[in-house]
Amino acid sequence: MVQKVYEKTINKLLLYTSTQFKNGSDIVVCLRAEEYMDTKVPIMPENPSEHDKYVWEYKMSDYLKSEKVLKGNLQNLYTVIMSLCHTEVKNQVRALEGYREFNKKLDLMMLLKEIKKIVYTGGSDNLHMKHNKAMAHLGFMDL
């Protein structure tokens, strides 16, 4: 049951990002992979013609814009997720050793990994792990 609640939450998050963010599909790819997924850098062909150079410059410009938008969207989503987290989950995340570092960078992928760890291990109170998992999932977010 815990897995299904987590999957439902992520699915809601996927729907939210794909509809609310510019280039939301790039965020969806990252969330499904559970890591930052860089798009392919355009490669200039050997001995390019003037047309090939123009096409490459256009693709490179588009690539740079997409990367900038993706990084900004992931940082914005970090803020959204932290604001929607249940107080207990938020407190456990803030108590993590590496929190200051990934919070400074607004590292969404690290935040999600840590939240997932908290949800599956129940934080530091492993005596009631199943209860902690269920409560953390239920309180993770309400989109």
Q: Average pLDDT of 93-100?
A: 92
Question: Could you read off the pLDDT of 102-133 as tens digits, one per residue?
Answer: 999 999 999 998 888 887 776 554 545 565 56
- Give the predicted TM-score (pTM) of the model: 0.76
> Two tokens at 46?
């050997």
Q: Beta-carbon neighbour count of residue 123 at 10 Å?
A: 19
Q: Please tell me the distance from the alpha carbon of residue 81 to that of residue 108, in angstroms, as a whole number.
A: 9
Q: Do residues 23 and 70 touch, judged by C-beta distance below 8 A?
A: yes
Across the chain, mean pLDDT equals 84
Q: How far is CA 82 from CA 44, 91, 124, in A?
A: 41, 10, 20
For residue 86, is it left (φ>0), alpha (ψ between -120 and 50) or beta?
beta
Domain range list for the chain: 2-140
Residue 33 CB-density burial (10 A; 0-12 exposed, 13-18 middle, 19+ buried): exposed
